[in-house]
Amino acid sequence: MRAVAATLLLFWVTLPAWATLGQSRDSVQSDQALLKGRLSTAEAQGYTIHQITRDDGGVLKEFVSPDGQVFGITWQGPTMPNLAQLLGSHFAEFQKAAKSAHRRGPLTVHVGQLVVETSGHLRSFHVRAYLINLLPNDISPEAVR
Amino acid sequence: MRRRHLTPRCTRWPASVLLAAALSLAGVGCSGSSSSGSSSSGSGGGTTPTTPSTPVNNTQFIQVGAGPTGTDVNQLLTSVSICVPGTNTCQTISNVLVDTGSTGLRLLASQVTLALPQLNDSNSHPIGNCVAFADNSYAWGPVQTADIEMAGERASSVSVQLIGATGFPAVPADCNTGGTNNDTVQALGANGILGVGVLRQDCGSACATSGSQLPPIYFSCANNTCSVTAVSLQQQLQNPVAVFPQDNNGLLISLPALAAQGATSISGSMLFGIGTQTDNALTGVQVYATDSKGNFTVTFNGQAYSGSLVDSGSNGIFFLDAATLGIPTCPGTLSFYCPASAVNYSAISTGTNGNSGTIAFGIVSAQSLFATGNTAFNDLGGPNPGAFDIGLPFFYGRPVYVAIEGQTTTAGSGPYWAY
């Protein structure tokens, strides 16, 4: 009994903290709890936007395709979110591509199907990420804003 | 060649601001706005005379080189002295990055030998500070109090962050961006960061009011666990220039012009105060006010980028993307542009005060620039599709003024950029 509870707990805490690019929308609820923000949902033509709004001004938008996959994410807020959590299995790819001699400044990574942009400064950060191959039909990357 | 066309224009400010400016200084501003040079005489009762302060050395040596790692480019560095508050027990830290894109002094704890007092909350729990950067790296460490000395100026009892201090609790989850922890010289590329941007505090009022949801920037640490906490404006990290007893309304950065292929290294000056001494007059420049986040707008080909900034801590001019510009990024790295031949661009910066002016700059292949072995370049750039990050290349050959939030100058109050 105890072992089961412990296992469940372990399972629960190892779930992705935030909705992860390229995965299902199921984690949106846990994101809301972790970000301690208000969740709202908006239907757009051909996709859904789940938005988590924090009182400190942080706004996470998760763009979900009709088949339930997170194809894009945007963040704006006073601090930088945890990209390892947001990008999930794509984070290593992002980090490898982002690692560049000499660069000091914002990042723009376009590697394979993955596009990630990070910019800004304390009080005003922006992140935009999407997977080209997961964009629903007729949806342009411009939708991920 | 890349000089921007300067169109000096009078800025209109409310009468109260003009009066304050006239009281504090002989007028450098628009003709007619403050013609009376005797307004600060203070003779007669009723008004508080402004005490003329004895000029001090306000010129801080700055230089661009490869930095302590020996591998960086366009790295603007200076030396900063820190002292145990109120004492002459001081230490000079070299190779500190001069960053107009952030606020506050942050030093690698490994470089600091002074024992500085720790900032604690009302329960005697130590306060930690977290900062993230645009490249997804971050820095974490305790907030301690120091006097900060540069040139002949001293900022007393200012909060500073000691990055990567041993014995301090580990990075809280809310601080970890997943990216690089800037807790070594190798990772940070410097011994510290001197944030001298337009904002007075690193966080501001958003971190000062408890009871609301606070940004994860200040943490109170008890029993090795750190949780987000409120810290007063006065106890937050400050632009140290704002804390100087004089020359405290801003600064200007002055670096010489460069040839297209750059220079092996170059030195210049950071002058404290704007219009407070004979060497820091606000002349021949346009004032571009920023919003409360330190952003203004840059327009390129009719498209406005509202989250833009002037950022000496960025080593290139980062703007748009390769597809839109029609020039490639460099082979093997997406970080910089590598056009086949030099390209000249022009954009329009617009302040929240409505002032507009042209920014002209060139982009040369980063690969060919790096092949020169030089470290200072005025034509290095890379992509940043959402905003203009006007980095160090812009600073060569023109004075760039940084007016601090809430501080009065001859051209009105900060926050603003002027160039």
CA–CA min distance A1, chain B (Å):
30
Kindly state the helix (H) or strand (E) to which residue B16 belongs, with its residue range: helix B15-24
Query: Does the CB of A135 have a partner CB in chain B at under 8 Å?
Result: no
Mean pLDDT score of chain A: 84
Alpha-helical regions (H) of B159-259: 185-188, 240-243
Nearest chain A residue to B188 by CA distance is: A104
- DSSP helix/strand/coil, B265: coil
The domain containing residue B365 runs over which residues? 280-418
Residue A22, both tokens: 């390229």
For residue A121, is it within any domain? yes
Q: What is the pLDDT of residue A125?
A: 98
Strands of B192-286 (E only): list them: 192-196, 218-222, 225-228, 250-254, 266-272
**Helices H / strands E in chain B, number of each:** 5, 24
Q: Are residues B289 and B239 in the same domain?
A: no
Q: Are residues B110 and B158 in the same domain?
A: yes
Do residues B201 and B192 make contact, with C-beta atoms less than 8 angstroms apart?
no
Residues in contact with B124: Cβ distance below 8 Å, sequence separation at least 6, in sequence order: none
Cross-chain CB nearest to B384 (options A79, A83, A108): A108
How far is it, in rounded angstroms, from Cα A103 to Cα A105? 6
Do residues A86 and A18 make contact, with C-beta atoms less than 8 angstroms apart?
yes
Q: Cα angle at A98 between A74 and B66, to 5 degrees?
A: 125
Do A110 and B313 make contact, defined as CB atoms within 8 angstroms?
Answer: no
The pTM for the full model equals 0.87
Do A123 and B75 make contact, defined as CB atoms within 8 angstroms?
Answer: no
Distance set, CA B28 to CA B18, B23, B280, B348 (Å): 11, 12, 11, 25
Q: Are residues B207 and B310 in the same domain?
A: no
How far is it, in rounded angstroms, from Cα B76 to Cα B99? 8
Q: Are residues B297 and B159 in the same domain?
A: no
Peptide bond into B14 cis (omega under 30): no
For residue A36, is it within any domain? yes
* CB burial of residue A111 (10 Å; 0-12, 13-18, 19+): middle
For residue A31, is it within any domain? yes
How far is it, in rounded angstroms, from Cα B163 to Cα B184? 9
Domain of B135, CATH number, reads 2.40.70.10
Q: What is the pLDDT of residue B53?
A: 72
For residue A43, is it within any domain? yes
The residue ranges of chain B whose pLDDT is under 70 are 1-52
- The residue with tokens 């000056």 is B269
How far is it, in rounded angstroms, from Cα B328 to Cα B383? 10
Query: Could you list the pLDDT tens digit for every one of the 145 residues in chain A?
Result: 444 444 433 333 333 445 689 888 776 666 676 678 888 999 999 999 999 999 999 999 999 999 999 999 999 999 999 999 889 899 999 998 888 778 899 999 999 999 999 999 999 999 999 999 999 999 999 999 9
Q: What is the pLDDT of residue B48?
A: 42
Beta-bridged to residue A115, according to DSSP, are A110, A130
Cross-chain CB nearest to B213 (options A36, A105, A120): A36
Q: Which of B130, B136, B377, B389 to mutate to test the interface with A (most CBs of A within 10 A)?
A: B136
Kindly state the helix (H) or strand (E) to which residue B18 belongs, with its residue range: helix B15-24
Do A105 and B336 make contact, defined as CB atoms within 8 angstroms?
Answer: no
Question: Which amino acid, residue B379?
Answer: D
Radius of gyration of chain A (CA): 16
For residue A107, is it within any domain? yes
Query: Does the CB of A101 have a partner CB in chain B at under 8 Å?
Result: yes
How far is it, in rounded angstroms, from Cα A107 to Cα A58? 20
Radius of gyration of chain B (CA): 21
CA–CA min distance B193, chain A (Å):
13
Q: Are residues B231 and B300 in the same domain?
A: no
Nearest chain B residue to A38 by CA distance is: B213
Q: What is the pLDDT of residue B334?
A: 76
For residue A11, is it within any domain? no
CA–CA min distance B196, chain A (Å):
13
Q: How many domains does chain B have?
A: 2
Do A83 and B178 make contact, defined as CB atoms within 8 angstroms?
Answer: yes
Cross-chain CB nearest to A108 (options B178, B204, B383): B383
Question: Which amino acid, residue B180?
Answer: T
Distance set, CA A9 to CA A4, A15, B33, B166, B323 (Å): 8, 10, 69, 32, 47
Q: What is the pLDDT of residue A35?
A: 76
Residue among B227, B359, B381, B204 at smallest CA distance from B297:
B359
For residue B146, is it within any domain? yes
For residue A10, is it within any domain? no
Give the end-to-end CA distance of chain B in Å, rounded to a whole number. Answer: 16
Which DSSP category does A24 fall into? B
How far is it, in rounded angstroms, from Cα A124 to Cα A3? 45
Beta-bridged to residue B144, according to DSSP, are B118, B160
Q: What is the pLDDT of residue A30?
A: 63
Torsion of CA B67, B69, B73, B76, to 10 degrees: -30
Strands of B206-265 (E only): list them: 218-222, 225-228, 250-254
Q: Which residues on chain B are in Cβ contact (under 8 Å) with A98?
A: 135-136
Beta-bridged to residue B389, according to DSSP, are B309, B318
Q: Which residues on chain B are in Cβ contact (under 8 Å) with A103?
A: 135, 315-316, 333, 335-336, 382
Q: Which residues on chain B are in Cβ contact (under 8 Å) with A36?
A: 213
Q: Are residues B349 and B287 in the same domain?
A: yes
The domain containing residue A76 runs over which residues? 18-143
Q: Are residues B310 and B390 in the same domain?
A: yes
Q: Which of residues 38-97 of A touch B (CB under 8 A)?
A: 54-58, 77-85, 87, 91, 95, 97
How far is it, in rounded angstroms, from Cα B69 to Cα B92? 19
Kindly state the helix (H) or strand (E) to which residue B98 belongs, with its residue range: strand B90-99
How far is it, in rounded angstroms, from Cα B290 to Cα B198? 8
Query: Does the CB of A119 have a partner CB in chain B at under 8 Å?
Result: yes
Q: Which of A86, A94, A123 to mutate to test the interface with B (most CBs of B within 10 A)?
A: A123
Nearest chain A residue to B375 by CA distance is: A102
For residue B217, is it within any domain? yes
Q: What is the pLDDT of residue B265?
A: 94
Give buried/exposed letters for B407-418 (b at 16+ CB in 10 A, else e).
bbbbbbbbbbbb
Q: What share of chain B is helix, strand, coil (3-state, %, to 5)?
A: 10, 40, 50
Q: Are residues B287 and B414 in the same domain?
A: yes
For residue B310, is it within any domain? yes
For residue A23, is it within any domain? yes
Do A57 and B206 make contact, defined as CB atoms within 8 angstroms?
Answer: yes
Do residues B189 and B137 make contact, with C-beta atoms less than 8 angstroms apart?
no
Q: How many domains does chain A have?
A: 1
Q: Are residues B337 and B404 in the same domain?
A: yes
Do B311 and A121 make contact, defined as CB atoms within 8 angstroms?
Answer: yes
